[in-house]
Amino acid sequence: MKKGTSESTKKRLLQKTLDGLDASRRAPRSFLVLMLLIHAVTSVTIPQISRAQTVVTLWGMQIPVAAFAGVVSSLGNICLIMLAVFCGKLGFFAAFIVLLAQFPMLAVNILRSHAYNSIPGIFSNILTLIAIVIIYVNIRQTEKYQDRIRNQAVTDSLTGIPNRFACSELLVSLVEQGKKFVAASIDLNNFKSINDSMGFGTGNEALKVIASRWKAIADGGLSGTLDFIARLSGDEFALVIRDYDSEEEVLNTIRQYMNVLCEKLTIDNCDFYVSASFGYAEYPTDSNKMDNLISYADAAMLEAKRSGNSDLIVRFTRDLLKEEHTLEIEKKIHAALENDGIFFQLQPQYDMNQKLRGFEALARMRDEEGKLISPGEFIPVAEKVGLIDKIDVTVFRKAAAFFGKLLRKTNADITLSVNVSVRHLMKNDFLQETREVLERNGIPTKNLEVEITESVMIDSAERALQCINSLKEMGVQIAIDDFGTGYSSLSYLNSFPADLLKIDKSFVDKMNDSDSMRQYVAAIISMGHIMGFDVISEGVEQQQQMETLQSIHCDFIQGFLWGRPLSAEDAEKVAMDNAEKFR
């Protein structure tokens, strides 16, 4: 069993921090040796100097050499004081022993040689001794306070286990060492409900008990691996696992932390149980960057939480990132729906003479920071999580409010095309809502077009088809969007009540690559015409594409060549100018 503990790691971390902070005060060993050496030299030379009969001339003054004995003695004492100040415990004891050892020597000197001039030296030694003891006691006191402060800096005050700072210090040093380790993220399940129902006091007690159980495993080395447990915040903990040989060992360790939660908690005579979600990522397999590793472990933990299975331990996989991203976008969609962050742009559609046919309303989204999120990102998520109908309705209402006024201003017979998801189509109130919006904004039904993607058209249930038929009966136009990307059979298409086929951009892109591709697009257009549909090509970007489409009798085009998606203001200008031109 390996005895690796959060306690010992904490001490090591503390020591590391301490060493860093004390680096300025701790002098190197060579300094200690130098001071002792100077002191030894002074001790040896003092008796000779004090006995010297010679005189030196300094600044024109005749000074007996013996008078310098006091100066040399002070120099020796300063060396000892320096030891106490700069060389820690070792320096203090060295100075202390040297001073103590001098007393018998001085005493012998005085008694044997009657060198009474050494008596002041004894007093000087006593004073130096007192000075270094005071200095030492003082430094120890300050160190104790510093230790306490440092200890607080790496300890969670509620539970007494290492805190977030200690954890990130450890991770940084582990990453520096480059050895493999596992970072596990732990989050208690439904902890909020304990706080809410039993109060914060009980919640805190519960955290203390849980932390002490985990600390016992980590400090006791019970898991068989080298573990470090820390509380990051609230009910969030981190577990760092080292010294394992297989994934099985990692899972075993985590399971031990999981299992101690099965024991009931008794606080204030109340019994209850808690569980936690565990997810982990491994360095360097999953990531060699500390920040990524933590967020990957979090993503794995969230996945475990989402599963609702408190026995599940999730290891990070790349797929989880997609899941995370989806969640993030989903949150943004919710926020945008609440805060008016969904709006529309209008992309013009033209006939081949560049007469405006109408506009397609395209959803746009701004997040809370005002950043635009691309429809390619939020539309698929909205479809997946069932928010697309809300976006459809918002875009439809806003675009219709604008379009009604535009129709009156321009007096032109133009169409508003809106994208409708099958989810929206299937809603009970879809027809009613469409009718109301049209009436409220004074838009004739024939000036509205509903775009349904080909794939939706194929997969939709009977109810969706009934709905499309009802729209058609109301006079609303039906367009089949992204045509060519699905697999609708000709007979199905023939019976579908559409007015317009929208050829997908992917065909327009390839149309001029080969003659067969051009003929293929020409065939789609002819077929559409035979079935009684108009045909519009999407994503026309080049003049050459435009000319080809003209030559194969396409009816309308939509694309960046003649018009990008526009703000309502710009769309109004385009509509006014076009109406003027074709009046």
Q: Which is nearer to Mg ion, 240 or 501 (CB)?
A: 501
Residue window 394-423: x/- pattern of binding to ligand C2E, with contact defined by CB under 6 A: -x-----------------------x-x--
- Tell whether the torsion through CA atoms of 503, 508, 509 and 512 is positive or negative: positive
Residue 502 φ/ψ, nearest 5 degrees: -105, 110
451 near Mg ion, rule: CB under 5 A = yes
- Tell whether the torsion through CA atoms of 292, 298, 304 and 305 is positive or negative: negative
Of 15, 9, 5, nearest in space to 147 by CA: 15
In the region spanning residues 458 to 487, those forming contacts with Mg ion, defined by CB under 5 A, are: 481-482
Q: Which is nearer to Mg ion, 187 or 482 (CB)?
A: 482
Record the tokens describing residue 271, joined without a space.
């019994």
Residue window 491-530: x/- pattern of binding to ligand C2E, with contact defined by CB under 6 A: ----------------------------------------
578 near ligand C2E, rule: CB under 6 A = no
Cis ω before 284 (30° cut-off from 0): yes
Q: In this chain, which stretch among 27-35, 159-167, 272-280, 536-544 interacts with ligand C2E, using CB under 6 A?
A: 536-544
Residue window 445-464: x/- pattern of binding to ligand C2E, with contact defined by CB under 6 A: ------x-------------
In the complex, the smallest distance separating the C-beta of residue 334 from ligand C2E, rounded to whole angstroms, is 17
9 near ligand C2E, rule: CB under 6 A = no
3-state secondary structure of 447: helix
Residue window 482-501: x/- pattern of binding to Mg ion, with contact defined by CB under 5 A: x-------------------
d(CA 297, CA 314): 9
- Tell whether the torsion through CA atoms of 466, 467, 473 and 477 is positive or negative: negative
Q: Which long-range contacts (CB under 8 A, 24 or more apart) does 503-506 make?
A: 503/535, 503/536, 503/537, 503/538, 503/554, 504/538, 504/539, 505/538, 505/539, 505/559
Q: Which is nearer to Mg ion, 187 or 538 (CB)?
A: 538
362 near ligand C2E, rule: CB under 6 A = yes
Contact call for residues 546 and 320 (beta carbons, < 8 A) = no
298 near Mg ion, rule: CB under 5 A = no
Contact call for residues 404 and 441 (beta carbons, < 8 A) = yes
- DSSP H or E run through 170: helix 164-177
Q: Which is nearer to ligand C2E, 419 or 447 (CB)?
A: 419
Q: In this chain, which stretch among 183-191, 321-329, 375-383, 404-412 interacts with ligand C2E, using CB under 6 A?
A: 375-383
Q: Which does 559 bind (CB under 5 to 8 A by kind): ligand C2E, Mg ion, none?
A: ligand C2E
Beta bridge partners of 58: 61
In the region spanning residues 326 to 355, those forming contacts with ligand C2E, defined by CB under 6 A, are: 347
Q: Which does 388 bind (CB under 5 to 8 A by kind): Mg ion, ligand C2E, none?
A: ligand C2E
Q: Which residues bind ligand C2E (CB under 6 A)?
A: 347, 362-363, 375-376, 379, 388, 391-392, 395, 419, 421, 451, 481-482, 538-541, 558-560, 565
